[in-house]
Amino acid sequence: MQSPDDPQSGMPSLPTHPMAAQSLPAVNPADPRLTSLIRLTEQLADAVLLADLHGTILYANAACHTLLGCEGSLVGIMLQQLHADPPELIEQMVRHVQQHQTWHGSCTYRCKAGKLIHAHAAVTLLSTSADTPPVLGYHISNTSERLRVDEALREAHAALAQRVQERERATTRTATLLQSKIDELRHTQHELRSSENRQRTLLNALPDALFMLTAEGQIEDAHIPPEYALPPAHTLVGQPLTALIADPATATQLRQCFQQVLYMGQIGLFEYRTTMLTSEHFYEARIVPASPTHVLMLIRDITGQRAVEKDLARFFVLSPDLLIVVGDDAEIKHCNAAWHDLMGYPEAFLIGKRTLDFIHPEDTVAALQMAHMIRDGNVANGIEYRFRHADGSYRWLRWSAISDSDTYLIHAIARDITLEKQATLLSDVLSEAIQQTTDAVLIIKVTHIPSAPPRLTMQFANVLFQQLTGYAPKTLHHEALHALQSLWGADFEAQLEALCTQLNPTEQQGTLTMQIDMAIRYFVDWRCVPLLDYQGVVQHMILRLHNVTPYIRAHRLAVEQLEVLEALVRGDELTLVLSRIATLIERHIPQSRTVLQIIASGKVVQRAAPRLPQAYSNEIRQHFPMLYHDVERQPVPGTPCAAALAQRQTVLVENIVESHAWPIWRKVALRYDLHACWTAPILHADGSAVGVIVVYSTSPGQPDSDDLALLATARYLTTLAVDRLFLNEQISYQSHHDSLTGLLNRAGFEQAVQHVLEHNRARQHAVVLGIINLDRFKQINSVLGHQAGDMLINLVAQRLRAITEPRGILARLSGDEFALLLPQASNPADALRIAQHLLDALRSPFTLDAFELIITASIGLSFAPSDADTVSGLLQCADRAMTRAKANGANQVVQFTPEMSALARERLELEQQLHIALQNNELLLYYQPQWDMQSGALYGVEALIRWQHPVRGLLAAGQFLPVAEAGGLTFAIGSWVLQEALRQAAAWYASGYPLRMGVNVSAAQLLHPNFIQSLEEMLNRYRLPAELIELELIESTALQDHATGAQRLRDVRALGIRIAIDDFGTGYSSLAYLQRLHVDSLKIDRSFVDALGSPSATPSDTVPLVQTIISLAHNFRLTVVAEGVETKHQLDFLQRAGCEVVQGFLTGKPMPTHALTAMLHQSPCMPHYHTTTNGNNGHAGANVNR
């Protein structure tokens, strides 16, 4: 196709002609109707003009420029400059149009170089919208050529008339010569008649109706072909030309066209239609001036032409195929409605678009090739490429196209073949899928024969069918299915034939056995899918064959393996389990003899050989005794079995006859008809040998992959069987021994005690049972960590074992609790002596990661049968004795007495009553004053918890807190104490007594996630300054979970609350922790103060220790509080040593709230509201441990 600017194209580009483009702004291109009209006129061969009512040209199409030969634009030129007609004609034309009537007439136009062109013009008034003025539309048809023809006809008629006149004048002038010329005249008349006949014959041969009209519009002569639906010619002669048309309006328009031709002297064209009876006819009237007095009118019946055009237009619109007209510039000129239905584009959208913009980039070359083929005059058929759909996707179209050499337009028709392409692709995919499927596929064609069984013919087989059956697909093509009857037998073929005879049959499936040859047999699952026609008759069948032989064999093997595993679970003897494994191998490997041998204590023991001759085993044992006595020391492997064990790998002897590595074994094996041997060692995960599997075969050969897999399974099952023995022994050991120390655990110890009791019951020997519990082990575990705690438990166990073995049985019952059984104690004194020996052994320091620890323990003893004669009874009695030892101060041995049982019951009752006490608010706080040593003023108070028991009266903390700790009530009691102490401090503060109060906090409270939030809420609730509160923590509490505890203490300090370390000097803390924890004061433990006693009783090592603690506290800028001061000597010593604060019975006993309040009234406290560095501050502390 040529480009729009190619001069060889023969005509300017449409609609982008430069002149047309210049005219568009003048005619409001935004008007869609006018724009569509302009685009349509660009495709017409006739000239079209648009002008305003003043005669100024607004638009001219390319044909107009071509007609007038104008190179420049006609826009803006007055119509009078183009017209060669009188101005009156133009004025008449405008007046006629302003009356909304179409004006028809002949006009003369000036073209290039002054040449005149005669043309027929049709002028009408166009109104596009109410907002824009109307314009005049001119349709100009060039009638110059027609006028020349008419002029020739007129000249011929004029010449003829002149000759007749000349003859008449000659006849008149030469009357005398008439006679002489009569013959000549007759001859001339004869020729004239012949000429008229020829002319009449010529007229009769014309397809048009011919009328000769006078200047007045009268029909002077008429020639009408017989097929025309017009009145007879003779009835029209003398009638006005309007008699030809029955419709008055159409007749008037014909009269106006006649007058314009008569007036303008140019050919006029007029189309009209008439209806006669039920038929409608279309006519084209061509009016030609013949002479000044006559006009010739030719009427042509164009009904057939219009019908063809209508059919073509209907075909173009209604065709289901895609019809399109493309210009030589590749722009779309026309398209039918199918583009909207199939491609989603409205017709107006594609007009003016380039086709290449919609073609897939990969198909552009094919589209250009089609264009070149059409341009060369060829017809393009079957060209396929992708065209973009309105939704952005691409559709495959198949094109046929042809070019119009006159208009240079390409007329193309396309059909959507996307589904066809997809079907082809799907067919290819399905074909490939059939080839790639894991099933063998056979497609069978069914031919139905009347009164005979259907004929089954093979049409297709995939590669897997060949692999399964051995038949190549090419050899089966078009062969009868009967050719494969040897594979599956006649019954299966008959079953397929019966399926074909059914109407609307469904899919069938089943299992069959395929005998490939004498040695190969497959188990196959088959599925036959019938393909039916519209009547439900089978036309094809798809037979799918799935080889399930490996699955069936694997299932059988799995069942047998499960039987072996069930035997293991049942606890069958090892020999029976190994026999099952050997039988499994022999069942799946034909002609095999299996031996399973296990290594026990370095010796090979034959445990299973179901089918191996016993005589063969005896000979091998005789020839190779070392194999069955010490396999690890065998110098040279004399058999494949020994070689496999030595090399730790499988040894295969495919043919014993050809094997010369083991001559003695070879000779013995052949004697018993054994020709192949496969030996596989059974190894543990660590590489140690467990045993060996030996498989003999009566025929030479090597194992295939299935055989090797079976051997691997057998080795695994054998390993499980052997491991079960070891595991049972290990489980039995672990279930009765402690994993950390290797001592007996509780279950093992109770079993041992039960055995000793039963053994000694008949002999009446005394049995001693002791419970050994380490003192304060939980604190050691918290401070040093669990790993250090485990190390300590191990060291303790070693010391205890060294003393008790072999006379006694030692066990570890729980974390820090051991048990001792003395089966034959001579007397209680002997048992007490041994127990005291254990305590003495523990007093020697233990070294753990540079820490030296001295451990003490509490031991409780019970005797059988005096205390109890059952295991649980003895343990219970010993545990109660141990509890009494701890209550007595620990680090001692206590023998059980009956009173301890009553005490244990009492403790249990007390614990239950303590739960009720919390609910009934039976707990209360007492407060003990603390005094400033320098000023003698009240420093603060310490609150001590009491229990107002409803029966036993007021109980001190030591009477119920140990029970609370054992019962898990420490957190609940501590929370109550904290809240009550803060409430009372707030009450005193509100009364004008800003006493500082500290609260003893347990580890459970400190480490609780909501501790800080709860503390802050209480301060806000009671409106208590934080400076009046001091939390007291024992060393183990402060150091337990050091990272979390330190962070909580920092959070407490952030609230403004003071922190004190209680019972300082009794823990295991590092001095560096004191600085890291940022405490405010240290409280010297009462045990150090008690040791001060009197001047004569003070131990020599206590004084420097207390002095060191006070000095250490001062170095860290800490306040020192001494508690438990009960003598004047203690008070004087502490004052001399620099202790700031004292507390004890000497200075004030604990008192209830009302008593302390009364004391505050008698002796007002100093306002120590703000903290100072010398410790002169108000203080109160609540301690749940006093």
pLDDT of 300 above 50: yes
Domain 7-142 grouped into CATH 3.30.565.10: no
Among 114-118, 449-453, 656-660, 772-776, the range scoring the smallest mean pLDDT is: 114-118
Which residues have CB under 8 Å from 345's CB, separation 6+?
335, 339, 390
Residue 355: pLDDT band (50, 70, 90) is confident
Residue 145: pLDDT band (50, 70, 90) is low
By C-alpha distance, which of 1120, 1122, 1049 is closest to 1085? 1122
Residue 1036: pLDDT band (50, 70, 90) is low
Q: What single-letter amino acid sits at 605?
A: V
What the block records as the tokens of 726 is: 């070891």
Among 51-55, 430-434, 953-957, the range scoring the smallest mean pLDDT is: 430-434
What the block records as the tokens of 792 is: 């300590």
Among 798-812, 878-892, 1040-1054, the range scoring the smallest mean pLDDT is: 1040-1054
By C-alpha distance, which of 1036, 1117, 1042 is closest to 1081? 1117
Q: How far is Cα 916 from Cα 1083, in angstroms, rounded to an integer?
A: 33
Mean pLDDT (whole number) for 795-817: 91
Residue 753: pLDDT band (50, 70, 90) is very high
Query: Residue 190: in which H helix or E strand, if any?
Result: helix 182-205
pLDDT of 73 above 60: yes
Among 203-207, 1086-1090, 1157-1161, the range scoring the smallest mean pLDDT is: 203-207
Q: How far is Cα 314 from Cα 117, in angstroms, rounded to an integer?
A: 37
Residue 696: pLDDT band (50, 70, 90) is very high
Highest mean pLDDT among 78-87, 111-120, 400-409, 923-932: 923-932
What the block records as the tokens of 695 is: 């498989």
User: What pLDDT does residue 786 have?
Assistant: 82
Highest mean pLDDT among 351-360, 392-401, 811-820: 811-820
User: What pLDDT does residue 838 have?
Assistant: 92
Name the packing angle between helices 182-205 and 144-173 (round to 10°): 160
Mean pLDDT (whole number) for 27-46: 65
Residue 1182: pLDDT band (50, 70, 90) is very low
By C-alpha distance, which of 896, 861, 870 is closest to 761? 870
Q: How far is Cα 537 from Cα 547, in angstroms, rounded to an integer?
A: 30
Q: Where are the domains of the chain?
A: 7-142, 148-173+206-304, 319-417, 437-547, 558-732, 761-897, 910-1183
For 468-513, the pLDDT digits (tens) are 888 888 788 888 888 888 888 888 888 888 888 888 888 888 888 8
ω into 640 cis (within 30 of 0): no
Which residues have CB under 8 Å from 187's CB, separation 6+?
none
Among 137-146, 168-177, 907-916, 1144-1153, the range scoring the smallest mean pLDDT is: 168-177
For 864-875, the pLDDT digits (tens) are 888 888 999 899
The answer to whether 97 touches 123, Cβ cutoff 8 Å, is: yes
Q: What single-letter amino acid sits at 708?
A: L
What the block records as the tokens of 661 is: 């590595």
Provide the sign of the torsion angle of the four alpha carbons 820, 822, 825, 830, taken in this order. negative
Q: What is the mean pLDDT of the chain?
A: 81
Strands (E) in 611-703, as ranges, are 651-653, 676-683, 689-697
Residue with tokens 């030479």: 700
User: What pLDDT does residue 793 have?
Assistant: 93
What the block records as the tokens of 166 is: 């000349």
Query: Residue 646: in which H helix or E strand, if any?
Result: helix 640-647
CATH architecture for the domain at 558-732: 2-Layer Sandwich (3.30)
Which residues have CB under 8 Å from 284's CB, separation 6+?
269, 270, 271, 299, 300, 302
By C-alpha distance, which of 625, 637, 720, 642 is closest to 679? 642
By C-alpha distance, which of 897, 860, 884 is closest to 769? 860
CATH class of the domain comprising 910-1183: alpha beta
Sheet holding 767-774, edge to edge: 809-812, 817-822, 767-774, 857-864, 893-895
User: What pLDDT does residue 382 have?
Assistant: 81
Strands (E) in 231-365, as ranges, are 268-276, 279-289, 294-301, 322-326, 332-335
- For 177, the 3-state DSSP assignment is helix
Q: How far is Cα 1074 from Cα 1038, in angstroms, rounded to an integer?
A: 10
Q: What is the CA radius of gyration of the chain?
A: 64
Strands (E) in 673-795, as ranges, are 676-683, 689-697, 767-774
Mean pLDDT (whole number) for 252-261: 86
Residue 8: pLDDT band (50, 70, 90) is very low
Give the residue with greater pLDDT, 227 vs 76. 76
User: What pLDDT does residue 635 have?
Assistant: 41
User: What pLDDT does residue 794 have?
Assistant: 93
**Which fold does the domain 761-897 belong to in CATH?**
Alpha-Beta Plaits (3.30.70)
Which CATH number describes the domain made up of 148-173+206-304?
3.30.450.20
The answer to whether 642 touches 627, Cβ cutoff 8 Å, is: yes
Mean pLDDT (whole number) for 1-15: 36
What the block records as the tokens of 1138 is: 């620099």
User: What pLDDT does residue 633 have?
Assistant: 46
Q: How far is Cα 332 from Cα 318, in angstroms, rounded to an integer?
A: 19
Which residues have CB under 8 Å from 482's CB, separation 6+?
456, 493
Residue 1057: pLDDT band (50, 70, 90) is very high
User: What pLDDT does residue 645 have?
Assistant: 82
Give the residue with greater pLDDT, 893 vs 1070. 893
Mean pLDDT (whole number) for 236-253: 84
User: What pLDDT does residue 990 have?
Assistant: 93
Residue 1067: pLDDT band (50, 70, 90) is low
Helix extents (H) in 397-538: 418-436, 463-469, 473-476, 485-501
Output the CA angle 1029-1033-1034, nearest 5 degrees.
155
Output the CA torsion 1135→1140→1144→1149 (10° steps): 120
pLDDT of 883 above 80: yes
Q: How far is Cα 1142 from Cα 1144, in angstroms, rounded to an integer?
A: 7
User: What pLDDT does residue 512 have?
Assistant: 86
User: What pLDDT does residue 479 have?
Assistant: 85
The answer to whether 708 touches 678, Cβ cutoff 8 Å, is: no
Residue 799: pLDDT band (50, 70, 90) is very high
Please check whether the two domains, 148-173+206-304 and 910-1183, share a CATH topology: no
CATH architecture for the domain at 437-547: 2-Layer Sandwich (3.30)
For 1131-1148, the pLDDT digits (tens) are 889 989 999 999 988 888
Residue 1179: pLDDT band (50, 70, 90) is very low
* Residue 671 φ/ψ, nearest 5 degrees: -65, -30
pLDDT of 1020 above 90: yes
Mean pLDDT (whole number) for 546-558: 83
Superfamily of chain region 319-417: PAS domain (3.30.450.20)
Q: What single-letter amino acid sits at 876?
A: Q
Residue with tokens 């798809």: 542
Other CB atoms within 10 A of residue 306 CB: 16
Give the residue with greater pLDDT, 34 vs 99. 99
What the block records as the tokens of 734 is: 């672990």
Provide the sign of the torsion angle of the four alpha carbons 65, 68, 69, 75, taken in this order. negative
User: What pLDDT does residue 1183 have?
Assistant: 47
* Residue 101 φ/ψ, nearest 5 degrees: -120, 145
Mean pLDDT (whole number) for 622-633: 62
pLDDT of 122 above 80: yes
Q: Are strands 1179-1183 and 997-1000 parallel, antiparallel or unpaired?
A: parallel
pLDDT of 240 above 80: yes
Q: What percent of the chain has pLDDT over 70?
A: 84
Residue 1099: pLDDT band (50, 70, 90) is low
pLDDT of 1094 above 70: no
